[in-house]
């Protein structure tokens, strides 16, 4: 049911927003922000509505002609009063970011045209166009074609954005999230919120804002502005959050400075404490010939690493540059992959699924895991510590402060160790996981998405894995979640022993975060391998060639009247399936003339729901093939969706395959192809007949493939 918001909903939301600064966060208010709050509360409702309407805009520049809202008394007169009392000013007060946000690229080009030729400017980005416009304005003033009277700038924007930053913890979130919450579009977590300050001190909050605000506008800064920041006084930081924003700006600023002032760029990078800043600084210093200094820093990192990610880089870089090792650890791991699997080329869009299907055909259990397995185990195991002992600052937050600040273990070591000590058996861990999942199912969190299959791989891990290894990895995540929040192997396999596998298709690369996660899993005691895939034509790969007849072409309204399927393995038919279906609607006469299928013929036929399980089973582990495959696949997927079931199979189209292997034919319709290749058609536009014909086309394409490319068949 559609929800409606009351006329002045935005004002109610704004008062709710300001109430946040009456509790623990009141100590974080800057002088400017505190003054804004006090002045705002002194306004009457109509003027507050104007201010909040403007505050809800994404940029500080507004067009006053758009502010004639019916729930506000004489809105233009209210705006005049607000201009007089310093709430709004003319556009000369606007930042380049706000101008770029309000004006389209075409509008910018139109304005620039008034200064002369714009030849070659269309290829420039909006930030560069705005920078160019600003240069012209500085010298010549605003162009005559621009209406200065219509556009106003919110002079309270700095104070407002500071308040938004303190409330949401980032520079991108806006007040419309309150409306999205009330409309049911956005789910929030009010149950884990307590009156907690987002930053430890006012000075840390202001320093965080300094760094975050500059970072959000770097794209609009010219070289002089960048240099001014680099040369200016940088606020000191104490808390972990403030240091994060500082490192984020310094890294981005350092990269930009390298392009026009290399010494200053290196100086700025050295100031940053983040892993990527340290790595960049070391690489650039080595490039400049400072090998001895870099060697000493690398040795210091290896002896006392600040994170697993930085340690992995330092060990690898040190080995290659100073021990004359020619390849990286990542390359070594790929080259020494434990196994190479021959997987059917049809799986090249879903390689992990193809590997799991390959294992299943050989009687080996496997599960798709990636990051979800470990993040869900982490979240469910430590739910109490994360969402009860720790806290969210506002209901819009997703990640607890301890994870944002990467100090979860430091804050909750005693509670974490007490829990792991109590869960001293697999049965107790399994019970705990089930209990947490039952109690909190569906609650918003930043770690994983809920689903009915969430516990399946967790059960397998607990059953087949070592409890000591599981807890060893969980402790690593507790101590350095930032380094171990992603990069985990693609699948988990059990063939007598449990192992994890990172699957790499030809051309894939192993990323640094994957290397770190693999190494930590191995340190915890798990068997981990990098498995490379070789594309072949696997004779054991099933292909199911499908054809359907329908009541019409749109799958959102029309339904299936007949389905025919032919299963091929190794180029030979091993099974077939055919049935008429009751579409639960009238079959148009033109469809009956085309297919021969009438309302009487399907009156007693089964519904799709009655044969859905058979369709799913028949196509399981198979490539879904059809002539114009998206038509047939789309209808069947939609039928499963009506049953609230997911249907997903790798697809192959015989039209595309025939165009690729037999180019230049006059027509690639099923009827003309069967005629060209002398394929017998029992009854065109009947499902099984067309499926059998398409199956013969698939065989032809495969034969041509083997002939032309020499694709291996094992």
Radius of gyration of the CA atoms of the chain, in A: 32
Strand intervals (E) in 432-526: 491-494, 498-504
Q: How far apart are CA 351 and CA 209, in angstroms?
A: 44
Assess whether 185 and 36 both reside in one domain: yes
Q: List, in sequence order, the alpha helices (H) in 510-572.
A: 512-524
* Predicted confidence (pLDDT) per residue in 470-482, tens digit: 999 999 999 999 8
Q: To which residue do tokens 């495969």 refer?
A: 702
Distance, CA of 337 to CA of 341 (rounded, Å): 11
Contact assessment for residue 473 and residue 524, using Cβ atoms and an 8 Å cutoff? yes
| 657 CB neighbour count, 10 Å cutoff | 22
DSSP labels for 593-650? HHH---HHHHTTSPPHHHHHHHHHHHHTTSEEEETTHHHHHHHHHHHHHHTT------
Structure tokens at 25: 């966060």
Q: What is the pLDDT of residue 137?
A: 79
Helix pair angle (687-709, 654-661), 10° resolution: 30
How does DSSP assign 342-377, residue by residue?
EEEGGGTTSHHHHHHHHHHHTT-EEEE-HHHHHHHH
Signed CA dihedral, 389, 393, 396, 400: sign only? negative
Say if residue 172 is in the same domain as residue 237.
no
Residues 532 and 557 in one domain: no
- Asked if residue 301 and residue 269 are part of one domain, the reply reads yes
Domain that holds residue 218: 202-325
Residues 13 and 107 in one domain: yes
Quote the CA–CA distance of 578 and 687 in Å, as a whole number. Answer: 7
Same domain, 551 and 639: yes
As a whole number of Å, the end-to-end CA separation of the chain is 56
Same domain as 619, residue 512: no
Q: What is the pLDDT of residue 145?
A: 66
Q: Which residues of the chain have pLDDT under 70?
A: 1-3, 96, 100, 145-148, 326-337, 709-714
Query: Which residue is listed with tokens 């919450």?
Result: 181
pLDDT at residue 122, as a whole number: 85
- 109, 349, 589 from 507: Cα distances, Å: 42, 13, 52
Q: For the CA atoms of 423, 426, 431, 434, what is the dihedral angle to 10 degrees?
A: 110
Residue 197 forms part of a structural domain? no
Q: Give the phi and the psi of residue 366 in degrees, each rounded to 5.
A: -155, 155
Residues 226-277: pLDDT tens digits? 999 999 999 999 888 889 899 999 999 999 999 999 999 999 999 999 999 9
Q: What is the pLDDT of residue 335?
A: 62
Q: Are residues 498 and 356 in the same domain?
A: yes
Report whether 579 contacts 610 (CB < 8 A): no
Tokens at 518, concatenated: 């693999």
**Rounded CA gap, 291 and 289, in Å?**
6
- DSSP letters for 198-219: SSSSHHHHHHHHHHHHHHHHGG
462 and 516 housed in the same domain: no
Number of structural domains found in the chain: 5
Kindly report the pTM of this predicted structure: 0.75
CATH code for the domain of 515 = 3.40.1350
Q: Is residue 483 part of a domain?
A: no
Residue 336 is predicted with a pLDDT of 65
Cα 237 to Cα 373: distance, rounded to the nearest angstrom = 36
**491-494 and 498-504 as β-strands: parallel, antiparallel, unpaired?**
antiparallel
| Helix residue spans in 304-446 (DSSP H) | 308-322, 329-335, 351-361, 370-381, 383-384, 401-404, 408-422, 426-440
């Amino acid at each position: 049911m559609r929800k409606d918001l009351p006329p002045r909903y935005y004002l109610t939301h704004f008062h709710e927003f300001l109430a946040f600064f009456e509790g623990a966060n009141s100590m974080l208010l800057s002088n400017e922000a505190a003054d804004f709050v006090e002045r705002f509360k002194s306004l009457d409702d109509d003027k507050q509505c104007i201010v909040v309407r403007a505050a809800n805009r994404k940029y500080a520049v507004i067009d006053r002609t758009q502010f004639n809202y019916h729930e506000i008394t004489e809105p233009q007169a209210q705006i005049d009063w607000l201009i007089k009392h310093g709430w709004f000013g003319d556009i000369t007060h606007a930042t380049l970011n706000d101008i770029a946000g309000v004006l389209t690229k075409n509008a910018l080009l139109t304005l620039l045209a008034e200064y002369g030729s714009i030849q070659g400017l269309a290829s420039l980005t909006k930030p560069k166009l705005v920078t160019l416009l600003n240069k012209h304005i500085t010298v010549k003033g605003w162009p005559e074609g621009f209406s200065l009277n219509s556009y106003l700038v919110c002079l309270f924007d700095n104070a407002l954005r500071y308040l938004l930053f303190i409330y949401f913890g980032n520079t991108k979130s806006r007040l419309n999230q309150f409306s999205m919450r009330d409309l049911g579009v956005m789910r929030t977590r009010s149950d884990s919120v307590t009156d907690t300050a987002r930053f430890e001190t006012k000075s840390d909050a202001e320093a965080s804002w300094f760094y975050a605000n500059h970072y959000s506008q770097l794209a609009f800064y010219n070289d002089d502005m960048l240099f001014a920041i680099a040369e200016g006084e940088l606020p000191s930081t104490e808390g972990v959050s403030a240091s994060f924003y500082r490192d984020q700006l310094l890294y981005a600023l350092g990269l930009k400075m390298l392009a026009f002032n290399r010494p200053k760029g290196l100086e700025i990078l050295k100031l940053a404490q983040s892993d990527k800043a340290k790595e960049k600084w070391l690489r650039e210093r080595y490039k400049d010939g400072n090998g001895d200094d870099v060697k000493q820093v690398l040795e210091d990192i290896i002896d006392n690493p600040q994170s697993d990610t930085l340690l992995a880089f330092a060990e690898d870089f040190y080995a290659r540059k100073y021990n004359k090792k020619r390849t990286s650890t990542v390359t070594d791991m790929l080259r020494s992959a434990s196994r190479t699997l021959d997987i059917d080329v049809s799986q090249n869009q879903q390689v992990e699924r193809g590997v799991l299907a390959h294992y299943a055909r050989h009687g080996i259990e496997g599960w798709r895991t990636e990051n979800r397995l470990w993040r869900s185990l982490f979240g469910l195991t430590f739910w109490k510590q994360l969402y009860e002992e720790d806290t969210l600052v506002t209901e819009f937050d997703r990640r607890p402060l301890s994870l944002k600040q990467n100090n979860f273990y430091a804050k909750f070591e005693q509670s974490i160790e007490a829990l792991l000590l109590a869960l001293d058996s697999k049965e107790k861990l399994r019970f705990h996981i089930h209990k947490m999942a039952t109690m909190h199912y569906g609650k918003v969190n930043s770690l994983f998405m809920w689903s009915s299959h969430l516990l399946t791989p967790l059960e397998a891990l607990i059953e087949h894995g070592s409890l000591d290894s599981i807890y060893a990895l969980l402790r690593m995540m507790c101590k350095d979640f930032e380094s171990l929040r992603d990069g985990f192997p693609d699948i988990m396999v059990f063939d007598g022993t449990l192992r994890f596998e990172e699957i790499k298709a030809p051309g894939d690369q192993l990323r640094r975060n994957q290397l770190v996660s693999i190494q930590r899993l191995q340190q915890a005691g798990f068997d981990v391998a990098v498995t490379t895939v070789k594309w072949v034509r696997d004779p054991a790969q099933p292909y199911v060639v499908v054809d359907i007849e329908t009541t019409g072409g749109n799958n959102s309204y029309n339904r299936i009247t007949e389905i025919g399927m032919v299963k091929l393995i190794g180029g030979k038919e091993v099974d077939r399936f055919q049935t008429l279906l009751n579409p639960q609607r009238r079959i148009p006469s033109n469809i009956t003339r085309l297919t021969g299928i009438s309302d009487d013929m399907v009156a007693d036929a089964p519904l799709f729901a009655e044969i859905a399980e058979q369709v799913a089973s028949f196509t399981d582990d198979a490539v879904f093939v059809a002539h114009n495959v998206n038509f047939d696949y789309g209808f069947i997927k939609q039928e499963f969706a009506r049953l609230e079931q997911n249907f997903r199979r790798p697809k192959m189209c015989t039209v595309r395959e025939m165009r690729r292997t037999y180019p230049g034919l006059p027509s690639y319709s099923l009827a003309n192809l069967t005629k060209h290749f002398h394929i017998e058609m029992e009854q065109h536009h009947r499902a099984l007949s067309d499926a059998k014909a398409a199956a013969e086309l698939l065989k032809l394409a495969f034969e041509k493939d083997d002939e032309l490319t020499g694709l291996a068949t094992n």
